[in-house]
């Protein structure tokens, strides 16, 4: 499997995802066999916004393969604060490290990095856009806990509007046969239309509910996420509604025996602590699966990457500026403007945002 960068899980075929899942399981069943497999390799973790959890998972994965880690997680302490461009940082760091794991608040930043990096790039989150290693984690968890990735009834609860991990998981699961979705949120925080379009295009059935209790009994999988207080329409609405989306033992009473509860963590109070002892709670195991998923990914990328010694300079395909205010091209103005034509729209190659010509 040839994998130069992981920017978006959708870039992989189902066979390739399958290969990663099986490698994760192989490592998990015999981690000792892999403990020297990346000896002498260096991974850089460039975290332009902090995320201790994701960073620790990647670091642990690399150490368990025998490699080393450099990086920063505090941009104020880095050259970035002296006004250095993403291009320069990536060019320099890819001269030090064999692999770059990168989180950035701007959408499309990881794609932009691939234009200049001499080493493979793994996207560890680019703003609200993509977070493919979380989705790979979710797939490894589901495969192991349910035995399959198809014909599942998947509930997703919480802030479905802004939940990047929710969007990615839905998009991936529509690629497997027979999956149906139950979307549980307030009206204000409902799933965006473009994700519904993906389900429709794939012929996946889905229902929208504003109540977790009603949804639980039918589910094979419940994917919980946090609703931030400030995302409710008002303080009154928050007080009125908050309990509706909290998973507690009362709401679990009529759940299936083989339901599996996932959560990308950190949790605040959307799952009560007593659920942790329920055998259906898998959100802590999920973080361990995530470590093995990242080991499989790092191993694959370092074994099979074929990055050209000298990158070709790309030129703008169109004279327009992407209209997404969170697109990386807004802050890094030297980036070539790369679009795919889609009818009378241009789709940005960095952030996937659409601009009317």
Identified binder of its own copies from the candidate list 33, 70, 250, 345, rule CB under 8 A: 70
Residues in a beta bridge with 42: 68
Question: Least Å distance between CB 289 and its own copies?
Answer: 9
Whole-angstrom CA distances from 59 to 37, 50, 66, 67, 147 are 15, 14, 11, 9, 28
Could you tell me which of 288, 295, 350, 292 has the C-alpha nearest to residue 324? 350
**Are 106 and 330 in contact, with CB atoms under 8 Å apart?**
yes
In b/e form, how buried is each residue of 150-173, taking b as 16+ CB within 10 angstroms? eebbbbbbbbbbebbbbbbbbbbb
- Residue 267 within binding range of its own copies, rule CB under 8 A: yes
**Are 63 and 88 in contact, with CB atoms under 8 Å apart?**
no
Closer CB to its own copies, residue 241 or residue 272? 272
| DSSP per residue, 23-53 | HHHHHHH-GGGGTTTTTT-EEEEEESS--HH
Q: Tokens at residue 110, please?
A: 């990881």
- Residue 30 within binding range of its own copies, rule CB under 8 A: no
Identified binder of its own copies from the candidate list 27, 44, 139, 183, rule CB under 8 A: 44
* Neighbour order of strands in the sheet with 99-104: 68-72, 42-47, 99-104, 121-126
Residues in a beta bridge with 68: 42
Closer CB to its own copies, residue 18 or residue 238? 238
Closer CB to its own copies, residue 71 or residue 125? 71
Question: Least Å distance between CB 177 and its own copies?
Answer: 32
Question: Least Å distance between CB 32 and its own copies?
Answer: 7
Residue 145 host element (H or E): helix 132-146
- For the chain, the residue count is 357
- Residue 60 within binding range of its own copies, rule CB under 8 A: yes
Task: Give the binding range for its own copies (CB under 8 A) out of 21-29, 46-54, 158-166, 186-194.
Answer: 46-54
What mask, x for binding its own copies by CB under 8 A, covers residues 142 to 181? Answer: ----------------------------------------
**Are 272 and 242 in contact, with CB atoms under 8 Å apart?**
no
Question: Least Å distance between CB 74 and its own copies?
Answer: 6
Residue 133 host element (H or E): helix 132-146
Closer CB to its own copies, residue 211 or residue 228? 228
Could you give the angle at the alpha carbon of 266 between the alpha carbons of 261 and 271, nearest 5°? 45
Closer CB to its own copies, residue 273 or residue 342? 273
Question: Which residues in 197-226 contact its own copies (CB under 8 A)?
Answer: none
Question: Least Å distance between CB 52 and its own copies?
Answer: 4
Q: Tokens at residue 151, please?
A: 């014909």
Identified binder of its own copies from the candidate list 11, 13, 30, 74, rule CB under 8 A: 74
- Residue 56 within binding range of its own copies, rule CB under 8 A: yes
Closer CB to its own copies, residue 144 or residue 174? 144
Question: Which residues in 80-119 contact its own copies (CB under 8 A)?
Answer: 80, 82-85, 87-88, 91-93, 95-97
On the question of a cis peptide bond just before residue 266, with omega within 30 degrees of 0, the verdict is: yes
- Residue 307 within binding range of its own copies, rule CB under 8 A: no
Task: Give the binding range for its own copies (CB under 8 A) out of 5-13, 177-185, 259-267, 315-323.
Answer: 259-267
- Residue 266 within binding range of its own copies, rule CB under 8 A: yes
What mask, x for binding its own copies by CB under 8 A, covers residues 273 to 292? Answer: x--xx------xx-xx--x-
Whole-angstrom CA distances from 30 to 25, 61, 62, 68, 243 are 9, 14, 16, 21, 43
Binding site for its own copies (CB under 8 A): 32, 35, 39-40, 42, 44, 50-53, 56-57, 59-60, 63-64, 68, 70-74, 76-80, 82-85, 87-88, 91-93, 95-97, 265-268, 273, 276-277, 284-285, 287-288, 291, 313, 334
């Amino acid at each position: 499997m040839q994998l130069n960068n992981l920017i978006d899980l959708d870039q992989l075929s189902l066979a390739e995802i399958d290969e990663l899942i099986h490698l994760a399981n192989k490592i998990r069943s015999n981690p000792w066999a892999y403990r020297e497999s990346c000896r002498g390799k260096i991974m850089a973790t460039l975290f332009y916004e902090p995320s201790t959890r994701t960073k620790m998972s990647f670091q642990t994965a690399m150490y368990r393969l025998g490699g080393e880690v450099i990086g920063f997680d505090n941009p104020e302490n880095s050259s970035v604060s002296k006004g250095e461009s993403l291009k320069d940082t990536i060019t320099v760091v890819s001269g030090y490290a064999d692999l770059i794991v990168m989180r950035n608040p701007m959408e499309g930043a990881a794609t932009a990095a691939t234009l200049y990096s001499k080493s493979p790039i793994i996207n560890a989150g680019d703003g609200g856009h993509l977070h493919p290693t979380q989705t790979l984690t979710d797939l490894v968890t589901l495969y192991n806990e349910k035995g399959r990735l198809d014909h599942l009834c998947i509930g997703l609860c919480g802030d479905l509007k802004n939940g990047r991990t929710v969007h990615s998981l839905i998009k991936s699961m529509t690629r497997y046969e027979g999956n149906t979705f139950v979307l549980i949120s307030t009206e204000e925080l409902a799933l965006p239309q473009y994700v519904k379009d993906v389900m429709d295009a794939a012929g996946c059935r889905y229902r929208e509910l504003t109540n977790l209790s009603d949804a639980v009994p039918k589910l094979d999988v419940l994917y919980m996420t946090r609703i931030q207080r400030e995302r409710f329409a008002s303080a009154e609405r928050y007080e009125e509604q908050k309990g509706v989306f909290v998973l507690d033992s009362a709401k679990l009473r009529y759940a299936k025996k083989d339901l599996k509860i996932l959560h990308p963590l950190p949790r605040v109070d959307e799952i009560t602590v007593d659920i942790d002892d329920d055998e259906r709670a898998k959100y802590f195991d999920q973080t361990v699966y995530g470590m093995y998923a990242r080991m499989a990914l790092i191993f694959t990328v370092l074994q099979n990457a074929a990055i050209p010694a000298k990158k070709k300079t790309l030129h703008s395909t169109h004279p327009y500026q992407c209209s997404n205010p969170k697109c990386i091209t807004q802050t890094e103005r030297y980036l070539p403007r790369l679009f795919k034509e889609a009818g009378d729209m241009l789709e940005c190659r960095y952030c996937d945002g659409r601009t009317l010509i």
